[in-house]
Amino acid sequence: MNPAITVEHLTKSFGGRKAVDNVSFALPQGAFLSVFGPNGAGKTTLLRMLATLARPTEGTVTLAGINLKEEPERAREAIGLISHNPMLYPDLTAEENLLLYAKLYGVRDPQRRVIELLDAVGLKHRRLDRVRTFSRGMTQRVSIARALVNDPSVVLLDEPYSGLDPHAMRIFDELIASVRADRTFVMVSHDLDKGLALASHVLVLARGRVVHFGEKDQMSPDEFADLYRTTVGMGVS
């Protein structure tokens, strides 16, 4: 079976600076990869390349055998991205926002899918309210529904806990747990505890390069914390 995600010699340069430098790894289907590293380590740039939002300078990314550079539109059908930006139109209702994305992805029964997702994130009763009137936590829940509208096999998470209170974080964790089966996740986070709790695999970046990649169980939490502290001290690329 093909790995869910294969990254080979991936490099992204901005001018003369390499934000991501020769990164390679492969993830099996159903894996949860947590990506750690100090600010400026290239975590978000890596995630943006996986999401087809940035084009690699060198190297390739393959999702279930599909090369992102050659067939980005086909790959997008299977990708969902949750970031600190909700990607929701504030003047549209929660339902209208999700219907918009459902139709763009070609969902067969968009109305049914949207109601199902709003129910799953506990916001069915607020479906006709404008997103502008929602709290940060509620907006993030609609954003999760948006990212899942196309039933993606690969879910990318960019600092998803940013700006969430502990209650909203707990709801977020429950939602992720409920949709985790068979999907492959890649999460960029500064929160070591959260990231390790969810992960099956761990990637540590510093100055755009891979410092460590492997299954979480290869290292004890204390060893990992030591590695992470050393990495943070390495600074930005």
Residues lying near another protein in the complex (CB under 8 A) = 51-53, 55, 63-64, 66, 73-79, 81, 83, 85-92, 96, 100-101, 103-108, 113, 146, 150-153, 179, 181-183
The CB-of-128 to another protein minimum distance in angstroms stands at 13
CB-wise, 86 or 208, nearer to another protein?
86
The CB-of-181 to another protein minimum distance in angstroms stands at 6
The CB-of-147 to another protein minimum distance in angstroms stands at 9
Residues 6 or more apart whose CB falls under 8 angstroms from that of 14 comprise: none
Distance CA 13, CA 56 (A): 8
CB-wise, 9 or 55, nearer to another protein?
55
Q: 61 has which bridge partners?
A: 7
CB-wise, 24 or 178, nearer to another protein?
178
CB-wise, 141 or 146, nearer to another protein?
146
Closest CA to 179 of 151, 157, 139: 151
CA distances from 65 to 52, 58, 61 (A): 15, 18, 9
The CB-of-99 to another protein minimum distance in angstroms stands at 8
Closest CA to 208 of 5, 63, 71, 17: 17
Write the DSSP symbol of residue 114: H
CB-wise, 136 or 209, nearer to another protein?
136
CB-wise, 37 or 152, nearer to another protein?
152
CA distances from 127 to 89, 117, 119, 167 (A): 14, 11, 9, 21
The CB-of-204 to another protein minimum distance in angstroms stands at 26
Return the SS3 of 234.
coil
Residue by residue, DSSP assigns 36-92 as E--TTSSHHHHHHHHTTSS--SEEEEEETTEETTT-HHHHHTTEEEEESS----TTS
Q: 185 has which bridge partners?
A: 32, 155
The CB-of-213 to another protein minimum distance in angstroms stands at 25
The CB-of-146 to another protein minimum distance in angstroms stands at 7
Residue pair 149/81 in contact (Cβ under 8 Å)? The answer is: no
CB-wise, 87 or 177, nearer to another protein?
87
